[in-house]
Structure 1
C-alpha cells in the first residue's frame, strides 16, 4: 500500500508533479516531511503573512503523524496494531477508517488496509508459500470491528493507512491554509491538493515520460506506479490483497477527486482494476472525477 513513496523517491520521475512556469510572482514555498516522505506547500499571497498559515499546516501534518504513522510507536495506528484494540478512537481516525471501508466496497476489496502483514512479509524477503498463507489468514478488512467505542482487530492483523492517510493530511493542510487567508495553495504530501487558484501539473510514467498535463483548481490528484519500486523477490510494492503474486496490469494510474484522501485511496486500488471495473467506479464513489490508466497498450481516460 505504500505506493505514494514513489513520488518522493523518484524525485518526481513518476506521478503528478508541479511543472515550472505555473507559479505567480508572490509564492512562498515550504518543504519538509510528512508520514515518511517529502512534502511541499506552495502559497500564493503576501509572503510576510505566510508563517502563521504554514505553522497551522505543520500542526496538521504533526496530527497526521500522531494518528497514522507506522514508524512512531506512540501513534494511534501503532497502538492499534500492537494491542489489537484502540479504545475511544479519535474522530479523525474513525473518519479515515470509514472512507477506507467505502473504497474497499466500491473496489471489490482491492483497497484493503489490512495488507500490512503481507507488506511486512515481502519486505523481509521472498516469502515461502507457508508464510504467505499465514499472512493471508491475517488479512481482510471485513474482519475489522469499527465503532465509536473501539476499533478491534483479529489476532495477528495489522493495518496500514499509507494508501489514504497522506491524502487525508493534504486535505487538512489545505483547509488550514484557507482558514489562515491562503485559499490559493498547492499541497504536495505525496498527492496533490489544489486550492482556489489554478495550477499546472504533469502526470508522468515511471520512466519520466509525460503522459499528460492538466490545469487543476479545487481538486486533488493521486498517482500509483506499482513497478517504480520492487521488493527483493521482484514483486511490485502494491500488493493485491487476495493474490499477492498477481502483477498489476497498469504501469501508472492517476485518480482525480474532490478530496486528496479519496484520490489517494482510489489510485492505490486502481492498479488492479480491469477497464470495465474502472469505468464503473465513478458511479460508486461520489467525488471521483477523472481516471487515467496507462499500460503497455496505451492510456485509458475515464471522465
Structure 2
C-alpha cells in the first residue's frame, strides 16, 4: 500500500475535523494544462482545490521534467539529442525504463509497435509542408532505417546502429507520464483520482460514484476503476492530410494498415504506458493477434 505522507495525514485530519455532518459533499479538485502537446487533466476526489494547489504545482514541475526527456519538439530534450547525434550518453533512469518497456512491447506485438518509424513520419511531414508526396524511393530509404532491434539500450548509452535513424515516443510516452503522475499522487496518500495526460488512468471512484466515467469516440461511456485506457485511431491524426496518410505506420511493410469500421482501438490495462503502446499496435493487428493479447490480460474495445 502506498504511504500517506505526514503532510497529507495532517491535511486529512484537518479536513475530517472540518466536516460537521456526514452529508457534506465530497470535494473534487481539478487541474487542466498541456503535456507532450496534448490536453491534460487531473481530478482528485476528497481534496479541496486550495489543499491540492501544492500538489498541482509539483505535478507541473514533474511534467516539465519528463517532457525534457521525451519531447520530440523541444530542441534540447534527451530524445531530440538522441535523434540528432545518434547516441545519448548517460541516459536518465526514466529514459531507460521507458525504452526497456517499449522493447518488451515491441517483442510482444511481433514488431507492430516500433518507435523507430520516426523517419517515415518525418518524411511525409516534410512532403506535406512542401505540398508534395514522397516517392517510392524516398519511402524505401526511410523504411530502411526502421528497426527497433537495431537500437542499443545500455545503462551507459543509447545508440543507433545506422546514421539517420530516429525515435518517436509518441506511442508510449503519454501513457508512461500518466503512470508517473498517478504514482506521485499515490505517494501523497490519494486514492480516488483520474489522470489524463493524453491517456487515462483511474484509481478508486469519483465522488458519489463507483469508478470514473470515460467517454469513447462513438459516444459510449466506460466505467473505469483501477485501470488505464489508451486510444489510437488510423484517422486520429493525418501527417499528410492531402494524401490521406496517417501518423501510424506499419513497420513491416508498405501496404496500408488494416482499416476497420469503427477504426478506434481502446486498450484497457492496469498501466497506461502498456495500454498506450498496445493501442498503437492494435490498429495494425489482426483478430487472432488481438485475441492472444486479451488472453494475456489486455482488453481491446473498438469504437
Give the structure-1-normalised TM-score. 0.83
Q: Calculate the aligned-residue CA RMSD, in Å.
A: 1.5
For residue 283 of structure 1, report the CA deviation from its aligned partner.
Answer: 4.7
Q: Is the deviation greater in 232-241 or in 94-103?
A: 232-241
Number of the residue aligned with 1:240:
250
Q: Is the deviation greater in 235-244 or in 133-142?
A: 235-244
Number of the residue aligned with 1:138:
145
Cα distance in 1 for residues equivalent to 2:283 and 2:140: 23
Cα distance change on mapping 1:93 and 1:240 into 2, 3 Å: same
For residue 58 of structure 1, report the CA deviation from its aligned partner.
Answer: 1.4
Structure 2 runs not aligned, ≥5 long: 1-24, 128-132, 206-210
Cα distance in 1 for residues equivalent to 2:115 and 2:193: 29
* 1:88-146, Cα deviation, whole Å (9 max, x unpaired): 11111111101111111111111000000000111122211010011011110011111
Number of the residue aligned with 2:200:
192
Quick check: 1:64–1:165 contact (8 Å CA) kept in 2? no
For residue 25 of structure 1, report the CA deviation from its aligned partner.
Answer: 5.1
Cα distance in 1 for residues equivalent to 2:294 and 2:76: 37
Give the one of 92, 110, 113 matched to 2:112.
110
Quick check: 2:257–2:283 contact (8 Å CA) kept in 1? no
For residue 81 of structure 1, report the CA deviation from its aligned partner.
Answer: 0.6
Alignment of 1:44-63 (within 5 A): 44-47=45-48, 48-63=50-65
Report the count of equivalent residues.
263
Give the structure-2-normalised TM-score. 0.83
Alignment of 1:69-148 (within 5 A): 69-125=71-127, 126-148=133-155
Cα distance in 1 for residues equivalent to 2:233 and 2:227: 21
Q: Please give the secondary structure, in 2, of the residue aligned with 1:124.
A: helix
Structure 1 runs not aligned, ≥5 long: 1-23, 295-303
Q: Please give the secondary structure, in 2, of the residue aligned with 1:31.
A: strand
Number of the residue aligned with 1:151:
158
Q: Please give the secondary structure, in 2, of the residue aligned with 1:151.
A: strand
For residue 150 of structure 1, report the CA deviation from its aligned partner.
Answer: 0.7
Number of the residue aligned with 2:29:
28
Structure of greater relative contact order (alpha carbons < 8 Å, 6+ residues apart):
1
Alignment of 1:172-191 (within 5 A): 172-191=180-199
Q: Please give the secondary structure, in 1, of the residue aligned with 2:243.
A: coil
For residue 228 of structure 1, report the CA deviation from its aligned partner.
Answer: 2.8
* 1:44-86, Cα deviation, whole Å (9 max, x unpaired): 1221310122122212211220110011111111111111111
Number of the residue aligned with 1:276:
288
**Does 2:249 correspond to 1:249?**
no
